[in-house]
Every structure is written in structure tokens, then in C-alpha cells.
Structure 1
Amino acid sequence: MSKSPMPLYVGDISALARNVRGRLQDSETIPSHVEMLNLLVKASGYRNFQHFKAQFEARKGLDLPKPHGAEINFKRVKRVLRLFDADGYLTHWPKKYSERVICLWVMWSRISARKTYTECEISELLEQQHLFEDHALLRRQLVDLKLMNRTPDGREYQRIEAQPPAEALEVLARMR
């Protein structure tokens, strides 16, 4: 039974070589096969070989092209995508903070740039984006994460322009 190859993409080959060389110099013995796998993937930015393998499997499940640029946690991307139904509605509020942040970026992307909203308008807009009926939670979280500004009296809201993280961009691309 042959195993399918798991390609390792490295952003900076020089940094990989320095890291591996340093770890080999610190080693008293020749690393075993598993130790060598861990050494290589750690030098590439993964926690260990199991983390690399889990990322590979998740990426394969999403049928994504090879990664480039920032590190994307594809397992998290898959979990967040499951939080949205086929029509793009957020079905429930995630328990994990990292997943909440990505969901808020999706909500942020649906708010018009450079437009000032009243509290009623932003609440109505957010109500149309989720199914768990807590627009106030979403509104507060968007302000807390500095994705929106609000006046001190809470009457006006405006989206803050920012670059979404790589994982949020991946979720947005998959939702389209």
C-alpha cells in the first residue's frame, strides 16, 4: 500500500536550512526518521509532524491550491465554514474565540465602507446575517475588535477599514 505524498512548502529555504543545521548541531545523535520529520516541519513553522499532517488533510479536504504567504489553519477554516448555512447565514455563535473573530470578519465584510449607520440600521443589517437572534452581541463584538467605530452615545456606527487575516479571507473566498 503506497502512501500519497505530502508536499512541504517552505517560504524561506535559507531560514529552513539555518534552523535544521542549528538543531542538528545541538543533537548528540543522528535523529531517527520521526525525529527528522518533526525537525523539518518545525523548521517550516509547524508545531510537529502531526500538526503538519492535520493541516495537509484539512487542505486536501477543501481542495485548495498550495499555500502561499501567511500561514492558514485549514482545520479552523473548515470549522468556521460549517457555522454558516448554504445561504451564508451564521447559524450559531461559536465557542472558540479564534472562530468568533473570523465570523466577525465575515459580518464586517457585509457592512458598507465609508457609510455611517444609525444603531437601528446596523442592528437591522446584522439581524439579516445570522439565525441566532442576537444582533447586539455582534454589534458589541465588532466594536470591541475595532472593526467598527461607534459614537460615545451609541447612535452612529461606521466600519473601520482594515486588512482581514488570511483565514478570514479564505473563509470569504470559500463562501462566494
Structure 2
Amino acid sequence: MSRKLIPLIVSDTSSFAKSLRMQLSGHDGLPSHLQFLNMLARAAGHGSFQSLRARVEPSGSEEAPAAPASVVDTEIDRKLVDLKIDQKLVDRVQRSFDDDLRLMRWPARRMDQIAALWVLWSQIPAAREMSEKEVSALLRDRHLFGDHALLRRELYELGLMTRTRDGSVYRRVERPMPANAAAILRQRSRGRGS
């Protein structure tokens, strides 16, 4: 019997490596084969190896399931959220947004792009299914450089949104916000209050 190949696609190798390192350092001894597969899947933004496999080979269901919140390793997510704030990155990304928190330009650096995507993610309604048309309209309204498809695709590939296999229904994935993105929003709210 041949084994099914399950590809693992990583959009940001640096974040993947940091997450994997954190998981390994928090684990006692050498992880088992399944534990290591789960660590790899979580580092790539999936809830578990099972959710990665379901996304690759959906079992007849229309939607490739997102990992339930209980499956996500909240201790690791908390560590990722509490990483030191990079003020230079925060300032750079903040300059990419206008006063209405619309993304004016797509940042050149990958870490800046990820922080900008988190800021956009914060403006997507939680716990609501949206059609591709609704997501596109929301993203068109939240950016000024004319490529809502890029933003929609990046949000999905980063694991911040799920979608059905046919791409007709999208849903925001609830996750703790990384420190840099949260700092951008905090600075924005302080700036408006003054």
C-alpha cells in the first residue's frame, strides 16, 4: 500500500523556525513521530497534523476544517504573542496605513507584510461566514493599492482565514495577535485619543 504524500507549505520560514524551536524547547525529551508531526503542522499555522491532512485531502466535506481552538497549543501561542516588540518594525508598518487604518501600500519586508495582515485581520468580523465577494469588498475598502486578491490569498495562506475548497465561503480564524501587530493597534488607538 502506497503512502499518501502530505505537503507542508510554509509562507514564512523564520516564523516557522521560531515556532518549532519554541515547541521543541518546551517539550521534555525527544518527541514521538506523531508529536513531531503535530509540532511541524502547528509551526506552519495548522492546529495539528490531522487538520493539515484534512486540508490536503478533505474527506468529502465541502470545507477543509480549521483547527478548533482547543487543539491549538495555547501555551506556544502565548509565547509567540509575548515576544519582544520590534519598535522599528511597528513604526515602519504603521506608516503603511492611513488615518482610517487602510493599508496604503504593500510592505516590502515579509515580517512587515505579516504585521500588516494581522492589522487587516483585526478588521474582519469574527465568528462569521463570509462569501468571497464579501471578503473582497471588505478588503477593497481596507486598502488603497488595488490588489484585494493578494490580501485575501495571504490571509488564507498565513492561516488567518479558512475557506471552503471551492473558495466560496471564508471565515476568520481566531488566534492571539502577535505583539508587533497589537502594538500597532495600541499606538493607533492612543493617537486617536489625543
Aligned position for 1:89:
102
3-state SS of 2:175 partner: coil
Aligned position for 2:126:
113
Which residue identity does 1:133 align to in structure 2?
G
Q: Does the alignment pair 1:78 with 2:95?
A: no
Which residue identity does 2:86 align to in structure 1?
N
Of all paired residues, the percent bearing the same amino acid is 45
Aligned position for 2:184:
171
Deviations 1:72-126 (A, max 9, x none): 1101100011101122111100110000000000110001111000000000001
Q: Which runs of 5+ in 2 are unaligned?
A: 1-81, 190-194
Q: Does the alignment pair 1:98 with 2:111?
A: yes
The structure whose RCO (Cα within 8 Å, separation 6+) is larger is 2
Aligned position for 1:158:
171
3-state SS of 1:149 partner: strand
- Structure 1 runs (4+) greater than 6 angstroms displaced: none
Separation of aligned partners in 1, 2:149 and 2:83: 32
Separation of aligned partners in 2, 1:89 and 1:121: 17
Aligned position for 1:10:
none
Aligned position for 2:64:
none
Shift of 1:70: 3.0
Q: CA RMSD in A?
A: 0.8
Separation of aligned partners in 2, 1:147 and 1:120: 18
3-state SS of 2:119 partner: helix
- Give the count of matched residue pairs: 108
Counterpart mapping for 1:1-176 below 5 A = 70-176=83-189
TM-score (norm 2): 0.55
Q: Which runs of 5+ in 1 are unaligned?
A: 1-68
3-state SS of 2:130 partner: strand
